[in-house]
Structure 1
Amino acid sequence: MVLNIAAYLFVAIDDADALALRLRQHAETAALRGTMLVTPEGLNLFLAGAEAPLRDFLAWLRADGRFAALHAKESWSESVPFARLKVKRKAEIITFRREAASPLQAGARAPTVAPATLARWIAQGHDDAGRRLVLLDTRNRQEVAYGTFEGALTLPIDRFTDLPAALAPHREALRDATVVSFCTGGIRCEKAALWLRADGMDNVLQLDDGILGYFEQVGDMGYAGGCFVFDERVALDPQLRPMSSSATHGLVAA
């Protein structure tokens, strides 16, 4: 079986170009495939390979104190779902082009909600203070088509940069709610929550570890369908298994 990991970490990187070269060298030695984004604000990794070499690669990376806190979400597949290894030098972990959208700028992460806590809120229909709950999907319409939380607020966007304008008509109606932003693995919902709180929406939280973390820790409670992923598996079910082609076709068609 092939181990797949998705991981990101916001951390200041002042040697991004040199780090990208070292990452490529170690990943090639370990025969890993996937995509690694290296930016001044942190790392974003999607990698797959044999279990031992991939775990060794993560151990090597975490030996650098800057990346000791890197948490990887794991899943398994019968084959490597990436055609090759790509290491890209970018300006942002995920392009948003908004100020105050990085914990490095804000000085801290946006408040988080653990998957188990969100599952309890979904079951009871409100947060622990009795406020109504709104789940905000920060992904694009293609990803949403494969699955999302039941009753979530989804937006007709094609790029993450479209989110602020698309959400603007809904903001007044969300004032009395606890809004939990979510995405695939945590990056977009973290950036969105930070920016929205800086822009006056102090009732916005983020789902810690995103949908993949929710699947891993909770399962499908309150979720319908699967989660689109950025590799040849296309989408994962709540058991973190690749969805069948017939299932994914039906969801997209719907």
Structure 2
Amino acid sequence: MSQFLIAALYKFVALPDYQDLQQPLFDFCESQQVKGTLLLAQEGINGTIAGSNAGVAAVLAYLRSDPRLAQLEHKESWAETMPFYRMKVKLKREIVTMGVPDLQPDTMAGTYVPPEKWNALVDDPQVVVVDVRNDYEVSIGSFQGAVNPNTTSFSEFPQWVQEQSVEGGVLAGGAKVAMFCTGGIRCEKSTAYLRSQGFDQVYHLQGGILKYLETVPAEESRWDGECFVFDERVSVQHGLEPGSYALCRACRLPLSAEDKASEHYVEGVSCPHCHDQHTDEQKQRFMERQKQVELARARRQRHIGVRMK
């Protein structure tokens, strides 16, 4: 039976005192034995936490006790093992980095489309469906017919929009655009950016892919593959069931069963994506780390940085 509750959350809201919130929030999470990562910035909060049902509920209640976060929404899933190793509360310039100043996602974001109505929108041939995640996330799953911008970081998205807005681009002529991402946060910024560039028909999937996979029955789904998540589960499937992917500890990319069968795969050291990208010195460090992992595994101890079965 799954025993750890996972809560993914974010909210764009003005937090001019965000630096003062860091230590009290960290201390409270620690007191509830909750782990994960929370990002604080002047524009809001973002992150994922995990712990007991009571512990996570207490942290969410603590956050919502701040009137500015009273309407904070979160998405839940469960795991059999703790998906995080420690608690971190970080201060950032942006809670999701695009690098475009003066965007106001809290007031400029596009139109929300609930999961139940998403299929009808993306089935419309006049709609350009855009996956705003990074290429390694898209590689293991996406919506049928979605455009992949092939970005390696979210900060590349504005340039892609500019390139695709000219004649011949997929966004030319003020296209009707539907966007999606893992939990919804990148869509808030990407749709706000498109609206700032003059697009007036901009939509995004409310709650992101995670809410869609939780809500829409598999037999009605337009989703192909699995969804990458930023914790030790690596990926999830419909119903938010654990996926089949592992994580390369050298390059942090998701690995399929085929990847792990490759001659270039050495657990903890290399994979088909990165086997020629690290120096011998780096590989030696990875090998030493993997030895420590295996020793911890033999002692049935949890080693930091290793996905436990």
Same fold (TM over 0.5): yes
Answering whether residue 144 of structure 2 is matched by residue 155 of structure 1, we say no
- Aligned equivalent of 1:142: 136
- Aligned equivalent of 2:277: none
Q: Which of 170, 176, 179 is residue 164 of structure 2 equivalent to? A: 170
- Aligned equivalent of 2:177: 179
- Aligned equivalent of 1:191: 189
CA contact (8 A) 1:147 1:251 kept: no
- Aligned equivalent of 1:244: 244
Counterpart AA for 2:208 = G
- Aligned equivalent of 2:214: 216
CA contact (8 A) 1:138 1:154 kept: yes
Q: 1:46 to 1:251 in 2, by over 3 A?
A: farther
**Other structure's SS at 1:97 match:** coil
Q: Which of 198, 204, 207 is residue 205 of structure 2 equivalent to? A: 207
- Show CA shifts across 1:141-160 (max 9, x none): 01111210011000111000
Alignment of 1:27-176 (within 5 A): 27-104=29-106, 107-122=107-122, 125-126=123-124, 132-171=126-165, 172=167, 173-174=170-171, 175=173
Please give the alpha-carbon distance, in whole angstroms, between the structure 2 residues aligned to 1:188 and 1:11.
Answer: 15
Please give the alpha-carbon distance, in whole angstroms, between the structure 1 residues aligned to 2:87 and 2:59.
Answer: 14
CA contact (8 A) 1:36 1:88 kept: yes
**Other structure's SS at 2:238 match:** coil
Larger radius of gyration: 2
- Show CA shifts across 1:142-184 (max 9, x none): 1111210011000111000111222333334433642111111
Does 1 or 2 have the higher relative contact order (CA < 8 Å, sep 6+)? 1
Q: How many residues align structurally?
A: 246
Q: What percent identity do the matched residue pairs reach?
A: 39
- Aligned equivalent of 1:24: 26
CA contact (8 A) 2:36 2:87 kept: yes
Cα displacement (A) at 1:100 = 4.4
Q: 1:112 to 1:52 in 2, by over 3 A?
A: same
Give the TM-score taking structure 1 as reference length: 0.90
CA contact (8 A) 2:135 2:151 kept: yes
**Other structure's SS at 1:120 match:** helix
- Aligned equivalent of 1:2: 4
Cα displacement (A) at 1:102 = 2.6
Please give the alpha-carbon distance, in whole angstroms, between the structure 2 residues aligned to 1:229 and 1:222.
Answer: 19
Please give the alpha-carbon distance, in whole angstroms, between the structure 1 residues aligned to 2:89 and 2:72.
Answer: 18
**Other structure's SS at 1:21 match:** helix
Cα displacement (A) at 1:248 = 5.5
CA contact (8 A) 1:225 1:251 kept: no
**Other structure's SS at 1:239 match:** helix
- Show CA shifts across 1:59-84 (max 9, x none): 12112211111111011100111111
Please give the alpha-carbon distance, in whole angstroms, between the structure 2 residues aligned to 1:151 and 1:29.
Answer: 46
After TM superposition, the structure 1 stretch with the greater mean CA deviation from structure 2, 208-217 or 33-42, is 208-217
Please give the alpha-carbon distance, in whole angstroms, between the structure 1 residues aligned to 2:32 and 2:128.
Answer: 43
Please give the alpha-carbon distance, in whole angstroms, between the structure 1 residues aligned to 2:230 and 2:99.
Answer: 21
Please give the alpha-carbon distance, in whole angstroms, between the structure 1 residues aligned to 2:225 and 2:161.
Answer: 23
Question: What is the RMSD of the two structures over their aligned residues, measured on CA atoms?
Answer: 2.1
Please give the alpha-carbon distance, in whole angstroms, between the structure 2 residues aligned to 1:176 and 1:192.
Answer: 15
Give the TM-score taking structure 2 as reference length: 0.74
Q: 1:69 to 1:4 in 2, by over 3 A?
A: same
**Other structure's SS at 1:23 match:** helix
